Amino acid sequence: METGLRNRAAIVAASSKGIGRATALAFAAEGANLALCARNAEALNQVAEEARRVYGVGVYTATFDVADDEGVRQFADSAHRHFGRIDICVTNAGGPPAKPFAKTTLAEWDSAYHLNLRSIVSFAHAVLPCMQQQRWGRFITITSIAVKQPILELVLSNAVRTGVLGLVRSLATQYGPDNITINNVGPGYTATDRVKELAQTNAQATGRTVADYEAQMVKDIPLRRLAKPEEVADAIVWLASERAAYITGQTILVDGGVYRGL
């Protein structure tokens, strides 16, 4: 399948590990140049080095916290100067802590808002004007299956991330006339450090073993296995490709069938 992504410039946020890393490498495999960011320079540089060595693409990197609005703005400006364009922006970040509602603090609510909703607003402010000038753009958010089917122990994620859907739908309407598509990808349980962290927290809270919790998680997935980060990345790359040019305002779940709704 020809994706039409060769020589496009793609921002992939929080791309030193997990789904972000797999997404960066999947874009590189299609010949897209990359602007990558995360907080850990060493891990991020390893991803950049792999993309350059294996796929021969250009890579620009910066280290900062995506909750820092000024950091996002400077990164997008520098990436734009570096490549002369920004065609694709994939927003990503770590997830908020797993805990029952009664144990959450207002500081954690503020932090979840900054990390998982406001950071996306920062990226949208920073890249959409440039995409408008180009009259071509793909803005893709990574959230969670929690936006369609809330997960009991993830109240912060359930509440804050649904705001992203309202943002995605609003931006899709406003920026469609500029030939910019805006979509959201909701991963289900995916084999990364995040899922290990969730398994440990839940096992501790319920007095079960991590192995027990993981077995239950897999039993609830119709495909009976966790997603590979590369499988989530493939959906993101497809949404960014020319093959998905008429899809906007949508949420695509990559969840092995966990979402039971129609």
Task: Point out which residues bind ligand NAD (CB under 6 A).
Answer: 14, 16-20, 38-40, 65-67, 92-95, 115, 142, 144-145, 187, 189-190, 192-195
When the beta carbons of 18 and 137 are compared against ligand NAD, the nearer one is 18
Nearest alpha-carbon partner for 155 in 105, 221, 209: 105
Q: Angle CA(43)–CA(71)–CA(170) in degrees, nearest 5?
A: 105
When the beta carbons of 164 and 175 are compared against ligand NAD, the nearer one is 164
Chain centroid, CA 203 distance in Å: 26
Least distance CB 219 / ligand NAD (angstroms): 16
Least distance CB 187 / ligand NAD (angstroms): 4
d(CA 6, CA 15): 20
Residue 66, CB-side half-sphere exposure with 13 Å CA sphere:
30
When the beta carbons of 65 and 178 are compared against ligand NAD, the nearer one is 65
The tokens describing 23, both together, are 């997404």
Least distance CB 81 / ligand NAD (angstroms): 21
Least distance CB 18 / ligand NAD (angstroms): 2
When the beta carbons of 178 and 212 are compared against ligand NAD, the nearer one is 212
When the beta carbons of 175 and 198 are compared against ligand NAD, the nearer one is 198
For 37-95, where are the alpha helices, taking DSSP H only? Answer: 41-55, 69-83
Least distance CB 35 / ligand NAD (angstroms): 13
d(CA 91, CA 172): 15
Whether the CB-CB separation of 221 and 227 falls below 8 Å is answered with no
Q: What kind and span of H or E run contains 185?
A: strand 180-187
